[in-house]
Structure 1
Amino acid sequence: MSSSLAPLLEAVALVQDSWADAQGGGDLSRAQLIAVNDAIGLLRRTTDAVHAEVAAGLAHESRRELGPESLAKQQGFRSSAQLIATTTGTSTGDAARLVKLGEATAPRTNLLGEVLPAKFPVVRDAMCRGRIAAAAADAIVTFLDRMILKVGRVVAAQAEGLLVEKAAGLSLDEVRKLITRTEAHLDPDGVAPREEELRARTSLTMFLRDGMLHLNGAFAPDKAAPLLAAVHGYVSAEFAAKREGRDPAAPDADRRTVARIQADALVHLAEHALGCESTESLNGATVVVRVDLADLVDGTGYGLIDGIEQPVSIGTVRRMAADGGVIPWVCRDGSEILDWGREKRLFTPAQRLALRERDGGCAFCGLPPEMTKAHHIRWWARDAGPTDLSNGVLLCETCHHLVHDNGWDIRIEGIGVRAKVWILPPPHVDPKRTPRLGGRARTELVA
C-alpha cells in the first residue's frame, strides 16, 4: 500500500497548495482554475490506485469460503461490491469493476505464501504514479485479459507497456479508440468475426409519438461510414453558410444546435434520395478507406475507415471500394505530386487525401475530416509558406482560430503521410511549451 500512498499524499498537498490562494471566498483566476483542476485530476487518479488496492483487499476478506466470517457480511452487506458501492455512492457494477482492477494490479501470493508480481505491473505502476485513471486502467486490463489467450503473455506484456505509455494524457474515449486499433493490429484475423458480430447488431427502429418521428439506430462500420460522411458534410456546409452569410432560406440557422442540424441532414438525405440530383450541400463528403497494399493483394490484414473506430476486414474493404463515393487509400509510394512548393496556393485533392491519412481529421481536437480544412502552418502570404505536406495540417474552424489567435504552434516531424503532428502550447498555457502529440498518431500504436 505504501507504493500508492506516497503519490496520494503528494497529490493532496498539491491540491492544498493550489487552492490556498482561493481562501477567503475570492474568485479563482484562470491560472488558479487550471492549477486546481490539474491537481484534482492527479488526486483522483492516485485515489483510484489506492481504492483499487483496497477494493481487492475487501474482496479477499469477503470471499465466499469465509462464510459468516466474511468482512462484507459482518458489515451487513451481501458482497464486497455492495459494501464499496454503498460507501462511495456508485453502482455495484462500478464497484465490481474496481475490485477486478484491484485484483489484476495488486501483488499476488502463490500457494506457498510467496509474494508474486502483479498480473499487470505496468498498469499498476502507472496508476500508483497518477498517470492513468481507474477507468482507463480497467479498459486496458480487460483488453489484455482477452488478448493473452490469443497472442500469449509476452506479446500482451509488450502491448501493456505501449498502451500505458500512450494512454497517459488521453481521455477515456481516446483510450478506447487506442485499444480498438491495437486489437486489430495484434489480432488481424479477429477483425472479420468482430465485424460480423457488429453487422448482426445493426438496426434502425422508428416510431411516431407526440407528433414526431423517433429514430434509434446502431450501424456496423461499413454502414456507418457513408452516413457519417454525409451528415458531417452537411453540418460542415451549414456552418460554412453561416460564416459566409449566405443562408437566407434558413432564418433560424444561427440558433440551431448541432443535433438539430444533424436531424436536418437526415431529412435532406431522404429528400435527395426521392429525386434531388444535387450533392453540393454535402460539402464534398467522401468515404476514405485506408489499407496496406500487401494486405489488399493478399487478402489479409484489415482496413480503416476514416471517422470510424472499428477496423474492417479486407473483404469489406474490397466491397466498399467497388461502391460509389468511396476512395480507397492504398498505403504505398505513388506518382502523385504531393509537394508543390510556392507554385500553388491551395492544397490539391491528392494533398488533402494525404493529410487525411496523416492527421485523421482535425489534428488538434480530432473532429472528422469532413469538418476540417487544409491550412498552411506557415502562412502562404505572410510567411511565404509552401503548399507542401510538411507545411499543411487539417484543422476545424474552431481550432484554426485557436492556433492563429492564441499563440499555439504546430510542428511536423517526419516526411509524408507517416509524419507526426506536434502541437506546442503558448508560454502562458505551458511555460515549458511541452509538445503534445496530435493527429492520428495520438490514438494509434502504429502511425
Structure 2
Amino acid sequence: MTTPLADIAALALRADALSAGGCAGMDAATLMQLTDLLGQIRRKTDAAQAPVAAELARQSRPELGSDSLAKKQGFRNATTLIAATTGTTIGDAVRIVQVGEGTAPRMQLSGVAGPAKHPQVAEALAAGRIGAPAAAAIISLLDRVAIRAGAAAIAQAEQTLVEQAPGLTLNDLNRVLLRAEAWLDPDGVAPREEQLRADRYLHLHEDRTGMLVFSGKADPEHAAPIKAVIEALVGAELRAARDHEQAGGAAGLGAGVGLGAGEPDAVRRSIPQMQLDALAQVCAHLLDCDDKNLPTGGATVVVRLTLDDLQNGTGSATIDGLSAPISVSTARRMAAAGGIIPCVLGGDSEILDWGRRKRLFTRTQRLALAERDGGCAKCGAPLTHTHAHHINWWTRDHGNTNLNEGVLLCDSCHHQIHDSGWEIRITGTGIDAEVWFTPPVWIDPQQTPRLGGRKRYSFAA
C-alpha cells in the first residue's frame, strides 16, 4: 500500500509530463486530463496534511503552556502556525485541524488504535474522492447534531453525504448539508429560523464617490420574495434581449431593455447591474403606486435644480437624501419618472401657507420643509426619521401651519428642544429660509445661534 505522499509524487510526475510543453494551445482532452490530475493532487495533499495538522494541534494544546510546539516555534497556537507555514487563512487552518481530528484513528483505553470518529469521511479523504473543505463541512454538520440525531442516523447521513460530495462544488454541497441537517434534527429547524431572522440586516451608506453601498443578509422568509422578484425581472430582460437579437436587432446582454434610449448603460449591462436596476425598478414602482395599503409613508424622491439649469442644460442638480450632485440630463430623466418630484428653484410653486385652516402639515408643505431642512434640521437625521413640528405650539401658542412656523425634527431632537429650553428661529421666507437654533444659557452662556437645516451644507464657489 502506497503512502499519501507517494501517491502525490506519482500524480505530480504524470501532471509534469502532460504540461512539459506548456499549457498554451493545449488540446481539450489533455487540458481536462491535467485539470483532473491537479484536482487529485490537491485532494491527496489535503489527506496528507490533515493528520499532520491534528498532531500539531495535539502537541500545541493550551495546557502544555510554554512546552507547546506552536509556542516554541514563536506562534500563539497551532492554527496560526499552520496558516503561516502553508500561506493560508486562519479559518482554513482551523478546518484542516478539524478534519485531522475527525479522521485520525482514536486511541482506546487499551492503548490500541480504534476507528476514526468519522470513518467514512476518513476513507473518502484518503482515497482522494473529497478534499479537506468538503470533509470539514460534513464533519462540522455531523458533530453539531450528533447528540440530537443519534448514532444510527449520523452513520447513515455520513455515508450518504460522502457518496454525494464528489463532483459537487462546496456551495452545492452546503445546500445538501442544509437539507441533511433538517432531516437529522427536525426539531432544530424552527430555532435556527429564529436565529436567522434575528441576524437579518441591511446597511446603507454613501461612499466618498457618492455611490450608495449595500451590505446585508436576509433569512429565507425575507429573502424569498426579494430573490424571486429580482430574478423574474432580470430573466424577463434577458429573454427580451435574446428575442431582440434573434429578430435581427443589435446584440448585447440586456441591451436597452427597460432603459431609455439615451441612458449610458443602454448598450450592455452585466448581470449584477441588471439586478441593481431591477431593485430600483421595484422601488420606483412603489413610489408611484396608489395602493394605500403599502406602508411607504408618502415617501418621495425630490430632485432639486434651478430653473436656469433646467432650461439651459447647464450646472448640476441634487437628490434629497444623497450627497453627490447629478447632471441636469439625469435630473430631467428622473423628473420624467413616476413618484419623483422635480423641485425647480425660482419657478412658480404651489401656495404653501395654510395659516390656521389646517393643524397638520400637508404633503406639499412637508416637501417644502424637506427642501429647506434636508432632514432633521438640528442633527441631520434622514427625512424618514423626522416629523413636521410647529415652532409655536398649535394649542398652547396658537401657532400657524405654515413654513415659517414649521420645522422637521427627529423624535430625539424634538424632545431635547422642548425639555432643555432650546429656541428655534426662522429667518427669510419659503424654502430659502434659514433655521437657527439658540441653546439655553446653561449650555452656552453666550447663547450663540447655530445654523441648522440644509444651509449648513450649502456650498457657493
TM-score bracket, normalised by the shorter chain, equals 0.5 to 0.7
User: Residue 61 of structure 1: CA displacement?
Assistant: 2.3
Separation (CA, whole Å) in 1 of partners of 2:46 and 2:52: 10
Residue 22 (str. 1) matches residue 19 (str. 2): yes
2:164 corresponds to which residue? 166
Superposition map of 1:335-350 within 5 A = none
Q: Give the conservation status (yes or no) of the 8 Å contact 1:18–1:32.
A: no
Aligned counterparts of 1:26 and 1:200: Cα–Cα separation in 2 = 50
Q: Equivalents in 1 of 2:145, 2:57: separation in Å?
A: 25
Aligned with 1:45: secondary structure? Answer: helix
1:438 is matched with: none
Deviation at 1:173, TM superposition (A): 0.5
Letter in 2 for 1:241: A
List aligned pairs for 1:143-158, cutoff 5 A: 143-158=141-156
Cα separation, 2, equivalents of 1:68 and 1:9: 35
Q: 1:195 to 1:68 in 2, by over 3 A?
A: closer
Say if 1:250 and 1:134 are closer, same or farther in 2 by CA, change over 3 A.
farther
> Aligned in 2, Cα 1:78/1:211: closer, same or farther, shift over 3 Å?
closer
SS at structure 1 position matched to 2:47: helix
Match of 1:367 in 2: none
1:84 maps to what in 2? Answer: 82
Larger Rg: 2
Q: Residue 282 of structure 2: which of 261, 269, 274 is its match?
A: 269
- Alpha carbons of 1:216 and 1:121: their partners in 2 closer, same or farther (altered >3 Å)? same
Aligned 8 A contact 1:108 1:117 in 2: yes
* Counterpart in the other structure of 1:221: 220
Q: CA separation in 2, counterparts of 1:100 and 1:218?
A: 27
Q: Residues 192 and 35 (structure 1 numbering): CA distance in 2 closer, same or farther, change over 3 Å?
A: same
1:57 Cα deviation after fit = 1.4
State how many pairs are aligned.
275
- Unaligned 5+ segments in structure 2 are 250-255, 291-461
Root-mean-square deviation (Å): 2.3
Instruction: Name 1:292's counterpart in structure 2.
Output: none
Greater relative contact order (Cα < 8 A, sep 6+): 1
Q: What secondary structure does 1:205 align onto?
A: strand
2: distance between equivalents of 1:76 and 1:271? 58
Q: Judging changes above 3 Å, is the alpha-carbon distance between structure 1 residues 65 and 191 closer, same or farther for their aligned structure 2 residues?
A: closer
2:271 corresponds to which letter in structure 1? V
Alignment partner of 1:233 is 2:232: yes
Aligned match for 2:46, one of 48, 58, 80: 48
In structure 2, the CA distance between the partners of 1:196 and 1:68, relative to structure 1 (3 Å rule), is closer
SS of structure 2 residue aligned to 1:117? strand
Structure 2 distance, partners of 1:135, 1:253, is: 42
TM-score, normalization by structure 2: 0.56
In 1, Cα distance between the equivalents of 2:115 and 2:126? 15
**Cα shift at 1:268:** 0.6
* Structure 1 residues 160 and 254: alpha-carbon distance in aligned structure 2, compared to 1, 3 A threshold: farther
CA distance in 1, matches of 2:21, 2:45: 27
Cα distance in 1 for residues equivalent to 2:62 and 2:23: 52
Counterpart for residue 123 of structure 2: 125
Map 1:186-335; keep pairs closer than 5 Å. 186-209=184-207, 210-245=209-244, 247=256, 249-251=259-261, 252-275=265-288
> Is the alpha carbon distance of 1:45 and 1:272 closer, same or farther for their aligned partners in structure 2, counting shifts above 3 Å?
same
1:286-330 deviation per Cα after TM superposition (whole angstroms, max 9, x unaligned): xxxxxxxxxxxxxxxxxxxxxxxxxxxxxxxxxxxxxxxxxxxxx
SS at match of 2:116: coil
Is the CA contact 1:15–1:36 (under 8 Å) kept in the aligned structure 2? Answer: no
**Per-residue CA distance 1:6-26 (angstroms, 9 max, x = gap):** 4x5334423422441432446
- The secondary structure found in structure 1 opposite 2:84 is helix
SS in 1 for 2:45: helix
CA displacement at 1:31 relative to structure 2: 1.8
Sort the Cα spacing of 1:155 and 1:213 in 2 relative to 1 into closer, same or farther, 3 A.
Answer: same
Secondary structure of the 2:182 match is helix
1:126–1:132 CA contact under 8 A, matched in 2: yes
Task: Please list every run of 5 or more consecutive structure 1 residues that lacks an aligned counterpart in the other structure.
Answer: 278-447
Q: 1:79 to 1:208 in 2, by over 3 A?
A: closer
Identity %: 46
Note the alpha carbon deviations across 1:127-167, whole angstroms, 9 max, x for none: 00011110111011010001111111121111110111111
Distance 1:25 1:133, change over 3 A: closer
Would you say the 8 A contact 2:11–2:37 is kept in 1? Answer: yes
Equivalent residues of 1:11, 1:39 under 8 A apart: no
2:8/2:45 contact within 8 Å kept: no
- The residue aligned with 2:459 is none
The residue number in structure 1 matching 2:374 is: none
Q: What TM-score comes out, normalization by structure 1 length? A: 0.58
1:34 aligns to what?
Answer: 32
Moved more, 17-26 or 191-200: 17-26
Judge conservation of contact 2:19–2:34 (CA < 8 Å) in 1.
no
Residues 18 and 238 of structure 1: is their aligned pair in 2 closer, same or farther, counting only changes over 3 Å?
A: same
**Equivalent pair of 2:134/2:173 in contact (CA under 8 Å):** yes
Amino acid at match of 1:264: D
> 1:204 offset after TM fit, Å?
1.7
